[in-house]
Structure 1
Amino acid sequence: MPAQTISTQPIDGQKPGTSGLRKKTRVFMEPGYVENFVQSIFDAIDGAAGKTFVVGGDGRFFNAEAIQTILKMAAANGAAKVIVGQGGLLSTPAASNLIRKRGTDGGLILSASHNPGGIDADFGLKYNIANGGPAPEGVTARILEHTKAITEYKISDAADVDLSALGAATLDGMAVEIVDPVTDYQLLMEELFDFDAIRAMFASGFTMRFDAMHAVTGPYATAILEGALGAPAGTVLNGTPSVDFGKGHPDPNPVWAKPLVDMLMADDGPDFGAASDGDGDRNMILGKGIYVTPSDSLAVLTANAHLAPGYAKGLAGVARSMPTSAAADRVAAKLGIDAFETPTGWKFFGNLLDAGKATICGEESAGTGSDHVREKDGLWAVLLWLNVLAKRGESVAAIMQDHWQTYGRDYYSRHDYEALPSEEGDAIMSDLRAGLADLSGQTYGALTVASADEFSYLDPVDGSESHKQGIRVFFEGGARAVFRLSGTGTDGATLRVYLQMYMGEGGDLLQETQAALEPVRAAAYEIAGLARTGRTEPTVMT
């Protein structure tokens, strides 16, 4: 069938954020919306002609239809080949692995990550470059400029491709390869981790529950945990992907994965618990009777990564997003390796990983990963924890207490104020910015401000600069509060407030987290003037 060239005009609001373009599903379903954005991606990368791409998504509502549109547009724009996950499914880390392993020119990943799915919920689309990572700011800026100037898009009028059958197909002369979404990813995990040791731990009676949250990681966890590693059937919960994630919220935190948390906090609960999100790039870690914050998880994995075969030679460095606690920095100092602080967004880790400056990266929003791909990887983090548990022969609680006694404890929590009016969120940040110079020396309850700034980042690899990445307030004694507006929501503004209190040697390392952080929370609430929101509590605390 011949390609069609369709006249169009710019659509407002197609600015990619830290993880691509996210909008309500019905917005993506509007005529021309996907087509405009995909054509803008192709135009921003100097065309698709002769190129090979990976395409897949988390299976949420409209995933299958959008993939068919992308395939037809790739063919019409002259792409040589597209590699697609069977049924249109690919976790984000698995897509990153395929891009790297096959040496493709990039990939289009359909997901709104941890956001809810369904016709009245959220959808997303992002472009990943040839290293497997999210498009850097230079590329997303070009995409945005093309969305503002687009006049036409190209699309084939061929029939849909049957994505249910593995193997080769064609679409208007373009090769389409439909692959098992799990196979290549599982092979990579087997290279990195001691599957024999983990298998023996399960055989000895070790118990675990993994909540896939009706999302894309279900098939991966079932194949690897219950299949390759021999965990009993039923270890994986909610393992069948659903277009609306079982009408749940696929965000692996104590609020949205409360049934799993309750299970692990019970006296007869399993030894270990974990969860992953909509597209498989985030994780939550639990032990019997204990929740491990993402910041602490990054620090523990940094300290113990050498126990896994893939990291036995040691780490080049560790990187964390600015809002993430400094726990990993303390480990890096003892290991004698570099620690990097970057803006929020996994794309900022890409240069460090490519340059060999960092091996493990993490961010407070439950994302952890390494140089094996260029995305955060939820199941990878779970498998590294299992490797550590198998080698150390201790419980999660024992490992955490040993870690805190060695490095001190960074009490840490993120408080989200969701669905604020956009103008109110902007006003909060503007007022914070305007008052920065006057904060030093001010006292709020028991805390005195030592310094305050707005975080900027100078990339040590390419020299690029990123500004206005969040307001930081440092208190005397090691406490800190950070304020930033999230770039991943689709409804109004989400203000994230990050609270941290360091407790060193001789301090109380076993306090309840929110109680330990109450002085920081009260100070942050007053500094930001959050009473104006009419809310006395955040929407979500993690």
Structure 2
Amino acid sequence: MLLKTTPFSDQKPGTSGLRKQVTRFQEPNYLPNFIQSIFNCLPDLKGATLVVGGDGRFYNREAIQIIISMAAANQVGKLLIGQSGVLSTPAVSHLIRSNNALGGIILSASHNPGGPDGDFGVKYNASNGGPAPESFTDAVFKVSQNIESYEIADNDPVDLETKSTTELDGMIVEIVDSVSDYADLMESIFDFDKIRDLISQSDFKLCFDAMSAVTGPYAKEILGNRLGVQAENIIRAEPLEDFGGGHPDPNLAHAKELVERMFSDQAPAFGAASDGDGDRNMILGANCYVTPSDSLAILAANAQLVPGYKDGLAGVARSMPTSQAVDRVAEALSLKCFETPTGWKFFGNLLDDGRITLCGEESFGTGSDHVREKDGLWAVLFWLNILAVKQQSVSDLVMDHWKHFGRNYYTRHDYEGIETSRADEVFNLLESKLADSAGKVMSGRTIKKADNFAYNDPVDSSVSSNQGIRFLFEDGARIIFRKSGTGTSGATLRLYVEHFESDPTRFELDTQQVLKDLLNIAEELAQLTTLTGREKADVIT
């Protein structure tokens, strides 16, 4: 049936789809409007296959039932839906690719909080398995601003709990095992025999934190059933609609139980966590934290130890705010290294064109050409495979890497939930300083270049502007300011600071102390305390 509606002005997708508070999505017609806008931008929708799944957060099941009814009314040929409506984001990407689907709808707000008062999100992934490009999301927004009606079937709810194949108004609805295909893919990439031997060693213990989110079932099958990790060492493994009241963001602030274990006298040898939808990761050793930027560089440097990458890498890529640690590996290995804006969609063209094999972001995301999303458990298995081959501790592996390539001291300061007008003041001030900054000396450091980063895609020649304000120094240090596109309330301002150190006697200093002069320069440039009203950042990593 055709139902009349009117547009909502706030349906412009951000970096990772449309994210709003649950209560906004629950408003009459809000979700149907956006889904119909997606469908209207898919000329090949009739008779096509779509993958649908989410991270299990509050409103996931209700949203899937709406999508099922709308897909039937819009003459979709087949829906592949994860059992219980649950699929990790990398698993969706894999199912799209392995089933030659037209695309997929992912229901997640990633690392944002869940529950009735939390956040919800909708993202469309294209036929390559990756996030839709800006051209598509811009088209969806344009349609959403002129929408007058949507199509929806009048049907009984579909049972999402049991694997089955049913028909609804000529459309096939298949409820599939959420884990098995993805687990098989991981086993085809990594040496599970070596990892299993490592895990069985008496002096090697690990702890994985699923953060009461989607990765729990995947970790239980892959780490537990296939690799022998004891159940008590996979914590918060049951997905909950509100993530147990926690914030499913794998960082030192939000994975408290894991961090306490890893920085104790009886610390396991290896620790890791993943986020709400399973695409992010945090890596820890005994009393050792590995920054996401260092993690990407270490994976790139050791990739040929893993069966899936034994023939070498085509190239690597990182988001612009991510530290330049991987650049140094690429230079040593004679690999091309690409610098892209933040957002996994920007890696898609490079992966599809065969220009890169590994890629990553400082926001706890790493991935490769096996799917077109960042992948939390993949990164954990990659680390375990390297450790199994090298028989080193995490801290020794990191130190050896620094001795060979040098250390990029790096930090990110997040100012969350800032009034949008205040954030705009900060960026207006910074913009006003760009033209006159080159050559200026601040705290003994000379600014080489200051700009607002723009990216020219080497594959399709598209241009993405206004991707972050950069102050680049002659000694290689960087200060970067960016507004995040993943929040739902106010603005999140991110400050990134980086300094390269080649002296091995200075590899184990406190990061914040090493970067103190750069942080002071950042304060002078942006007047953060005055303009945001914040004495310090909400989260420091």
Measure the CA separation in 2 of the matches of 1:430 and 1:39: 37
Counterpart of 2:132, as a letter, is A
Q: Does 1:94 align with 2:91?
A: yes
Aligned equivalent of 1:541: 540
Contact 2:319-2:341 at 8 Å conserved across structures: yes
Q: Report the identity percentage.
A: 56
Q: What's the counterpart of residue 404 of structure 2? A: 406
Return the offset for 1:47: 5.8
Partner of 1:125: 122
Distance 2:220 2:504 in 1: 43
Kept in 1, the 8 Å contact 2:484–2:491? The answer is yes
Structure 1 residue matching 2:516: 3-state secondary structure: helix
The superposition leaves residues 13-60 of structure 1 with CA deviations (integer Å, 9 ceiling, x where unpaired) of 000111000000000000000000000000012262111100000000
Q: What is the identity, as a one-letter code, of the residue corresponding to 1:67?
A: I
- Cα displacement (A) at 1:507: 5.5
Q: Say whether the 8 Å CA contact 1:254–1:261 is kept in structure 2.
A: yes
Which stretch has the larger CA shift, 251-260 or 190-199?
A: 251-260
How do 1:58-137 residues align onto structure 2 when only pairs under 5 Å count? Answer: 58-137=55-134
Shift of 1:157: 0.7
2:246 to 245, 248, 263: 248
Q: Residues of 2 paired with 1:209 and 1:40: CA distance? A: 43
- From 10, 16, 36, the equivalent of 2:33 is 36
- Structure 2: stretches of 5+ with no match in the other structure: none
Contact 2:529 2:536 in 1 (8 A): no
The match for 1:192 among 164, 168, 189 is 189
Counterpart in the other structure of 2:209 = 211
Q: Per-residue deviation at 1:69?
A: 0.3
Q: CA deviation at 1:525?
A: 1.2
Q: Write out per-residue CA displacement over residues 206-253 of structure 1, whole angstroms, 9 at most, x where no aligned residue.
A: 210000000000000011101100112212100000000000000000
CA distance in 2, matches of 1:338, 1:165: 47
User: 1:445: Cα distance to partner?
Assistant: 2.7
1:155 aligns with 2:147: no
Unaligned runs of 5+ in 1: none
Q: Show the counterpart of 1:293.
A: 291
Name the amino acid aligned to 2:146.
A
Equivalent positions of 1:391-402 (< 5 A) are 391-402=389-400
| Distance in 1 (alpha carbons) for counterparts of 2:28 and 2:43 | 25
Distance 2:330 2:491 in 1: 35
How far residue 258 of structure 1 moved from its aligned partner, in angstroms, is 2.0
Task: Give the whole-Å Cα distance in 2 for the aligned partners of 1:155 and 1:17.
Answer: 26
| Superposed displacement of residue 531, structure 1 | 2.1
Q: CA contact under 8 A between 1:446 and 1:519: conserved in structure 2? A: no
1:479: Cα distance to partner? 1.2
Partners of 1:218 and 1:238 within 8 A in 2: yes
TM superposition shift of 1:453: 1.0
Question: How big is the shift at 1:505?
Answer: 4.0
- Superposed CA offset, 1:77-109 (max 9, x none): 000000000000000000000000000000000
What are the residue-to-residue correspondences of 1:320-335 with 2, within 5 Å? 320-335=318-333
- Is 1:517–2:515 an aligned residue pair? yes
SS at match of 1:176: strand
Partners of 2:165 and 2:406 in 1: how far apart? 55
SS of corresponding position for 2:395: helix
TM-score by length of 2: 0.99
- Residues in 2 aligned to 1:446 and 1:73: alpha-carbon distance in whole angstroms: 61
Q: Per-residue CA shift, 1:411-448, capped at 9, x if unaligned?
A: 01110001110011112112211210112233333433
Of residues 8, 13, 18 in structure 2, which corresponds to 1:16? Answer: 13
**Could you state the TM-score of these two structures normalised by the residue count of structure 1?**
0.98
SS, match of residue 56 in structure 1: strand
Residues 138-175 of structure 1: per-residue CA shift (max 9 Å, x gap): 10011011001101000001001001110201222210
Tell whether 2:432 aligns with 1:465.
no
Report the alpha carbon displacement of residue 475 of structure 1 after superposing the two structures with TM: 2.0
Q: Does the aligned pair in 2 maintain the 1:280–1:377 contact within 8 Å?
A: yes
User: Aligned to 1:234, what secondary structure does the other structure show?
Assistant: helix
Within the candidate set 29, 45, 48, 1:48 is matched to 45
The match for 1:349 among 328, 347, 350 is 347
In 2: Cα distance, 1:233 partner to 1:419 partner: 37
